[in-house]
Structures are given as structure tokens and as C-alpha cells.
């Protein structure tokens, strides 16, 4: 969607390049994606501190920032909020309810009172001071927040498609994680529920990410994210 909107994108993979030191100079926004580690693993994984410095820099520059799952947790930590193990691991499809504050948020305009969204997380975050709580689920009170007008953190995954979910279910590390839950999570059920819910997820992702891109408010004929 960013490419269709006219942006060029630099993607930094810290798994492949753990010593990368990306800069926001010349860029117009930041998206921080997920990962299997915890947001408080920065002593073991120093690149998490690099990501939080980027988030802080983006906010100081008033750039749009979007964090998904681990990315949302890193935004919360950057803003001084606590990140910790949730009492339940959410892996699969779960009902998410927008908060009353979501009624006035453009990214959540398409949400019904309850939406079934894809999740894969064991940690959660507190809502940072000054942030707006946007969504919750039965097992995870804090599913989304907005800070200011242009910083968003989501615990759920709107960016996935069906092939991606099926790949995740086959990753050895993910399979071991599910096995350690002793039957609480059923991959076959996730597979069947994906076919039932994925179309609606795509509708929501198109609307949410489309509205996020609108935050840039840029003349696409004059400005681009610069490839590095």
C-alpha cells in the first residue's frame, strides 16, 4: 500500500543485520514490525534499544509511527510504559472490541463493536501516560493505543494474509511455542478459522493502513521515502 501511494521503502532486518544503525534522515515515517522476542530483551538483543531510539527520534520529528505486536510494545516502552507477560498467550483468532475513544479515531472508523482479528503474542503493554486506549480483548485489555495524532501501537496483526499465517504455523520455533501450551492452541483450528475470517481482516487492513498513510499528508509528486 505504501508503494502504491508513491513511497519508496527501506526495510531493516535486524535478524540478518543485528548491528545495523539506521537513521531517519530523509525519511517521512516509521513502521516497526513484530518478532518472537520480548520488548524487554534489549540486554540480550541490543538492536531493540536501537529500535526504541528510532521510535523516540521519529516522535521528536513528529513523523507518523506505526508499531505492530513487538513494534507496539517497543513504542509503549519508549513512552515509559510497562511491557510484561500477559496472563494468556493469544495465538490465533480472537474477538477485539474498540474502546469508546475509537469512535473518534479515523483508523478505527470501519470497526464494528466486535471484530475477530489475528493475534500472536505472549506479552502485553500498559497504556502510556497521555495515550488514548483504542481496543481490548477478553484476554488482553490493552490491544491498541494512539499517542498524539500520528503514533499508533497495535497488539493484533492486520498485516497478515492467509499464506503468511500458514507459514507462521510451520516455523519450528512457533511450533515449539504452541506445543509448550499443552493443547491450549490448536493449529488446525487456526487454519480453519483463517479461511473464515481473512476476508474481513483484509477489509479492515485496507481501511486502517490507508488512513495511516493519509496521516503523511504529503504531495507524493514531490516527496518520497528515500531508498538507502
Catalytic residue, candidates 51, 69, 115, 140: 69
Q: Which residue has the higher pLDDT, 131 or 226?
A: 131
What is the model's pTM? Answer: 0.92
110 has catalytic annotation: no
CA torsion sign for 41, 21, 10, 221 is positive
Catalytic residue, candidates 51, 90, 115, 159: 159
Q: What is the pLDDT of residues 38-52, one digit of tens each?
A: 999 989 999 999 999
Q: What is the pLDDT of residues 100-135, one digit of tens each?
A: 999 999 999 999 999 999 999 999 999 999 999 999
112 has catalytic annotation: no
69 has catalytic annotation: yes
Q: How confident is the model at residue 228 (pLDDT cuts 50, 70, 90)?
A: very low
Decide if 185 contacts 122 (C-beta within 8 A).
no
**Which pLDDT value is given to residue 225?**
44
Decide if 110 contacts 103 (C-beta within 8 A).
no
**Which pLDDT value is given to residue 173?**
86
Catalytic residue, candidates 51, 90, 115, 157: 157
Rg of the chain, C-alpha, whole Å: 17
Residue-wise DSSP of 54-84:
HHHHHHHTT--EEEETHHHHHHHHHTT--EE
Amino acid at each position: 500500500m505504501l508503494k502504491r501511494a508513491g513511497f519508496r521503502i527501506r526495510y531493516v532486518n535486524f535478524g540478518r543485520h543485528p548491528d545495523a544503525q539506521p537513521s531517519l534522515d530523509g525519511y517521512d515515517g516509521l513502521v516497526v514490525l513484530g518478532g518472537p522476542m520480548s520488548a524487554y530483551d534489549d540486554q540480550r538483543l541490543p538492536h531493540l534499544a536501537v529500535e526504541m531510539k528510532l521510535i523516540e527520534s521519529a516522535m521528536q520529528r513528529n513523523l507518523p509511527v506505526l508499531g505492530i505486536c513487538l513494534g507496539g510494545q517497543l513504542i509503549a516502552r519508549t513512552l515509559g510504559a510497562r511491557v510484561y507477560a500477559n496472563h494468556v498467550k493469544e495465538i490465533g483468532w480472537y474477538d477485539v472490541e474498540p474502546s469508546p475513544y475509537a469512535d473518534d479515531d479515523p483508523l478505527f472508523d470501519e470497526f464494528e463493536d466486535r471484530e475477530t482479528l489475528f493475534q500472536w503474542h505472549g506479552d502485553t503493554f500498559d497504556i502510556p501516560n497521555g495515550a488514548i486506549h483504542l481496543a481490548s480483548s477478553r484476554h488482553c485489555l490493552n490491544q491498541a493505543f494512539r499517542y498524539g495524532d500520528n503514533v499508533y501501537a497495535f497488539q493484533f496483526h492486520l498485516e497478515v494474509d492467509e499464506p503468511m499465517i500458514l507459514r507462521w504455523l510451520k516455523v519450528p520455533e512457533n511450533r515449539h511455542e504452541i506445543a509448550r501450551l499443552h493443547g491450549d492452541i490448536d493449529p488446525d483450528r487456526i487454519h480453519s478459522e483463517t479461511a473464515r475470517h481473512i476476508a474481513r481482516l483484509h477489509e479492515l487492513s485496507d481501511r486502517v493502513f490507508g488512513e495511516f498513510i493519509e496521516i503523511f499528508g504529503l504531495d507524493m509528486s514531490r516527496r518520497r521515502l528515500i531508498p538507502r
